[in-house]
Structures are given as structure tokens and as C-alpha cells.
Amino acid sequence: DTGVSQDPRHKITKRGQNVTFRCDPISEHNRLYWYRQTLGQGPEFLTYFQNEAQLEKSRLLSDRFSAERPKGSFSTLEIQRTEQGDSAMYLCASRLPNGGQNEQFFGPGTRLTVL
Amino acid sequence: AQSVTQPDIHITVSEGASLELRCNYSYGATPYLFWYVQSPGQGLQLLLKYFSGDTLVQGIKGFEAEFKRSQSSFNLRKPSVHWSDAAEYFCAVGARGGGADGLTFGKGTHLIIQP
């Protein structure tokens, strides 16, 4: 293992459908983050986990967005009833604990297109 | 709440010329500061970070950045750019001392290298 992986890399869906994305962090990283990046913008923080605990979810964009990390390893981000405005790149990152100065390592992202 | 401003959306530099990308932040204290680079189809890669100590920080690929508290700035520099440096560059801040642990990114600067 050399980095954070995300699956799928691309997802095309129709408006109203549900989608789920997966993130596998670097194995010894107990913190995991989700971001959204729209065209021409920087990543926007959505939520994060320490092990299996979701410590911040107020930044999730609406109640259609939810995330889980049931066993403290991989995480999933689900968007229900997708809208065209959800089209974006969804990025996952992970880092070691003990201090915000530790680097967040980013995955390649999942690009979502909602038709 | 913290914020990051990258005033230049696009910058064009001739290969071999020097580079400076600007970043200004807003935060109540000294934040953690990061520069990331994103190439097409690639994840975000950390170039360098500042969290304390020497205000001139060296990074990978010949990049450096200087933290100036009085100007709330963390500008990225490189003495001589290469064509492979063409990419999107993001400045980010992280909060110290707990709270929401996600990074706040600027909108990015698109670097174009002229031959």
C-alpha cells in the first residue's frame, strides 16, 4: 500500500439516484476526511472521522449526504437523491493522529457527474 | 472562521524564470499552513508546510514558502520553474487546538509554463 485509494474514479448517474463512494486510507492513519471540489474551486471540507467516530458533520452539504466508517478502516460517502449541483470531485484524505501539522494525504478522487 | 485568499487565478511564467504565488489567510492565531499541488488526473500532493519555527520553509521539487505574520501571508516561491511545474496550486490553513479538523483551501492558482 502506498497511498489513499478511492473507488470508483468516475461515476455518472441520473438525477434522483443514490450514489456511494468508497475511500481506503493509508493503513496506520486513524483520521479520515472527505472534501468536495467543484470546478475552479479549492477542496471544501465536508466531514472527518477519528477511527470509527465521526467528529464533525455539520459541514455536510445537506441531509442527503452521509458518511460512515464502521470499523475504523475504510469509509463510505453516500449521496441520496442526487441533484445536478452535486456534480463535483469528491476527495478523501487521511493522516496520522497527534496534531494538525501532520500532513493529510489525498486520494485521486471520485468524479461525479449527475445528468 | 478561517479563510484563504489566492488573488491570482492564473499565472503564466516562462520556463527557467522565477515564480511567486501569493496566499493570504485569515485566522485568529497562527495557523498551520500548507501548499498543495494538483496535476490533472492526480491527487493533491503536499509541497510544504509551516507550523512553527523558522518562517522560511523548504519543500519538495525546489519550492519554498515564507510565513509573514504581519502580512498574514504564506507565499510560495521557486527560483527557476520547469515545464513539469504546470499545475494547480492550493494554499490551505488548518486550525490549531482542536475544533473542526478539516483544512480550509484557497481557490487555487493555475500555473502555465511558457517554453
pLDDT in tens, A48-87: 999 999 988 888 889 999 999 998 899 999 999 999 999 9
pLDDT category at B28 given cuts 50, 70, 90 is confident
Nearest CA among B105, B3, B5 for reference residue A45:
B105
Q: How big is the A-B interface in CB pairs under 8 Å? A: 69
pLDDT category at B27 given cuts 50, 70, 90 is confident
Sort out which chain B residues have CB atoms less than 8 A from A4's CB and list them: 43
Q: Is the pLDDT of residue A97 over 60?
A: yes
Q: CB–CB of A91/A36 below 8 Å? A: yes
Cα separation, B72 vs B31, in Å, equals 10
| A70 touching B (Cβ < 8 Å) | no
Q: Phi, psi (5° rounding) for residue A7? A: -145, 135
pLDDT on residue A74:
96
Q: CB–CB of B102/B93 below 8 Å? A: no
Please provide the average confidence, as pLDDT, over all residues in chain B: 92
